[in-house]
Amino acid sequence: MPRQRPTCTGMRVRNVRDAEIILHAVATGILPMVMHRLADEDRLALAPGCIYVWEERSSNPLEATGQEIQRFTEGRSWGPSRARDNFLIYYEKDSPARNSLLHRKNIRHAPQFIKQTYSVYVDYPRNSKKWHLNAYYTQESLEALATVDDVPLFKSVQVPPNQYVCARNNSGRRTTRQNGLSEPYMLPPVPRHVVADPSPPPSSSSSEGSDAHSRASPPISIPPTSPVAPAAPLPPGRSVADCCLAPLAYLQNISPRARDPLDDEVLRQFHLDMSLV
């Protein structure tokens, strides 16, 4: 398999505006999308400033295009996610995989990577494409990396309003089938309370907020929603057996979708709160 290059290199993402400009550059063909998981050579080439844009594989086989990725991996171990604005931040951990990569690159010591991720639904709700942006940097390299404002290529990129909807705000999105058609709907959000890490590493200034805002995100509180109305009864003369249902064997062979990292963080916070009761 030929070597797969990142979507762009030598860059950092300061805020949602930067992320959407890069995403739209991919959508319009200015930048390439990552089409498959990184091979060994691609993982060895990972460097500060590498940014990868990839599409998550849909659980609906009718929506598959053959260009999606089930899970993006780069051969490194990461600590728990930390929410910062609409991004998730991960810090690299020491692990045998990291030591093996450094040994293969003939490096004894190297700064630990920081991974910044941003996930969106593209043109939601008219389609169900979910794109991810993974940006990698180190604390030492952050200030030396370019931004979209430094690259003339991005000056002509105009992002349409509401083209990219943050997936963190739509984490309960699922699909249901009615009369043989797939229609998107939103599950009622579960009340949760997420607090960002009190002392994340310093980052560059953002056009959308001050340095203090970038160092710590405020608590997120989502109120419970009203009960969902019960489903309408079947028409007279119809039974459940008459509905268009997929065979059980087909459903059992569908791989479950990976849980959103934010959901894992919420579950850990819930268990922590329960242990303190």
* Per-residue model confidence as pLDDT tens for the chain (277 residues): 567 899 999 999 999 999 999 999 999 999 999 988 888 889 989 999 999 999 987 665 555 555 667 788 888 999 999 999 899 999 999 888 888 888 888 887 888 999 999 999 998 777 778 999 999 999 999 999 999 999 999 999 999 999 999 998 765 444 333 333 333 333 334 344 333 344 444 444 444 444 444 444 444 344 454 454 555 565 666 655 555 556 666 666 666 666 677 777 777 777 666 666 5
pTM over 0.75: no
Question: How many helices and strands (H and E) does the chain possess?
Answer: 6, 10
DSSP E strand boundaries for 30-170: 51-55, 82-84, 87-91, 114-122, 130-137, 164-166
Dihedral, 88, 148, 46, 119 alpha carbons, nearest 10: 30
DSSP E strand boundaries for the chain: 51-55, 82-84, 87-91, 114-122, 130-137, 164-166, 173-178, 181-186, 193-194, 220-221
pLDDT score at 227: 53
pLDDT score at 251: 65
CA-CA distance, 108 to 92, in Å (whole number)? 16
**Domain range summary for the chain, segments of one domain joined by +:** 16-58+74-166
Q: Which two tokens stand for residue 131?
A: 């794109």
Q: Which two tokens stand for residue 217?
A: 């995100």
pLDDT score at 78: 94
Q: Which two tokens stand for residue 256?
A: 């479950």
CB 102 within 8 Å of CB 108: yes
Give burial (CB, 10 Å; 0-12/13-18/19+) of 11. Answer: buried
pLDDT score at 235: 63
